[in-house]
Amino acid sequence: MENEHQYRNYAAPARDSVSAFYEANHRQQSLDFVRGKRAQYLGLNHRTMAPWDALLWMDTLVDDSDPDTNLSQLQHALQTAEAIRKDGHPEWFIVTGLMHDLGKALCLFGEPQWAVVGDTFPVGCAWSPTNVYPEYFASNPDLARPELQTENGIYEPGCGLDQVLMSWGHDEYLYHVLRDHLPLPALYMIRYHSFYPAHRHEAYQHLMNEQDRTMFRHVSEFNPYDLYSKVATPADQKALEPYYRDLLTRHLPAQLRF
Ligand code: FE
Ligand code: FE
């Protein structure tokens, strides 16, 4: 694994597009927007796909918000899973690496990238200054709602993240797709892998409960595989496909509802 400082480096030339991305994200990810997207998608009635077919479908997508890779999403899935496998982790963890970004299917349903990818944060309470580009929250309509601008906002202190509405994106969506199929540490990895203010800066601790604090160790364990497995040499999809198809057959249902 390479030096962490080479990653998430938003210097030119990537910075302009990443900055524009977060301007759109922070301006529009309001509490009402999140509630609307949850109502639209969490019924999981958009499409039914076999897990491997969903990964192939995702192969048409490149993540604009990510300064670290220009490879397709299937390559990112395989590279992440392979890095986890090489370190000898259990199969559920490898499956998690393979599947973790499949919520980006939202893009293929026509959602703009600012409503799919990028770092996530709680809505309905004050934004932590540890969020990337915090200045862009100045244009968010929730700024005009004082009840949403206190530390706890609409939440009880220590209520647990399960009660907290996160900015809408691929993490929360895929959590709902897989919530009945993977163990709790895997579900935390999936649901909070883009929640950088929490796992990088320990922000929003006042909303967490004991389970969150325990499970965030797993989120932190997953994060380096997501970040540092991004290498320019593509994984050998053809050679790896039989192993991963078999793995998915053993750990997930034949069809997943999206
Ligand atoms: Fe992701
Ligand atoms: Fe990822």
Asked whether residue 2 carries a pLDDT value surpassing 50, the answer given is no
Output the CA 94–ligand 2 centroid distance in Å.
13
Task: State the average pLDDT over residues 201-221.
Answer: 97
From CA 42, how far away is CA 7, in angstroms rounded?
A: 32
Query: Is a pLDDT exceeding 60 seen at residue 12?
Result: no
Among the bound ligands, name the one nearest to the CA of residue 120: 1
**Sign (positive/negative) of CA torsion 34, 40, 46, 48?**
positive
Confidence of residue 5 (pLDDT cuts 50, 70, 90): very low
Q: Cα(101) to centroid of ligand 1, in Å?
A: 5
Rounded-to-integer distance, Cα 204 and Cα 94, Å: 28
CA of 63 to the centre of ligand 1 (A): 9
pLDDT at residue 1, rounded to an integer: 41
Q: How far is the CA of 100 from the centre of ligand 2 (A)?
A: 6
Residue 127 reports pLDDT greater than 90 = yes
Residue 68 is predicted with a pLDDT of: 58
Asked if 216 and 198 count as a contact pair (C-beta separation under 8 A), the reply is: yes
Q: What percent of the chain has a predicted confidence (pLDDT) above 90? A: 83
Question: For 86-105, what is the mean pLDDT?
Answer: 97
Query: Which residues is 257 bridged to in the sheet?
Result: 48
Q: Which ligand has the nearest atom to the CA of 194?
A: 1
Give the pLDDT score at 125. 98
Provide mean pLDDT across the span 136-161: 98
- Domain limits of the chain? 13-251
Neighbours of ion ligand 2 (CB under 5 A): 101, 226
For residue 223, the CA-to-ligand 1 centroid distance in Å is 10
Residue 10, pLDDT score: 53
Instruction: Quote the CA–CA distance of 78 and 215 in Å, as a whole number.
Output: 24
**Averaged pLDDT score across all residues of the chain:** 92
pTM of the model: 0.92
Residues 221-241: tens digit of each pLDDT: 999 999 988 887 889 999 999
Give the Å distance between the CA of 45 and the centre of ligand 2.
24
As a whole number, mean pLDDT of residues 78-101 equals 97
Q: State in Å: Cα 257 to ligand 1 middle.
A: 19
**Amino acid letter, residue 105:** A
Specify whether the CB–CB gap between 106 and 96 falls below 8 A: no
Measured in angstroms, how far is the CA atom of residue 77 from the centroid of ligand 1? 10
Residue 13 has a pLDDT of 54
CA distance 183 to 87: 19
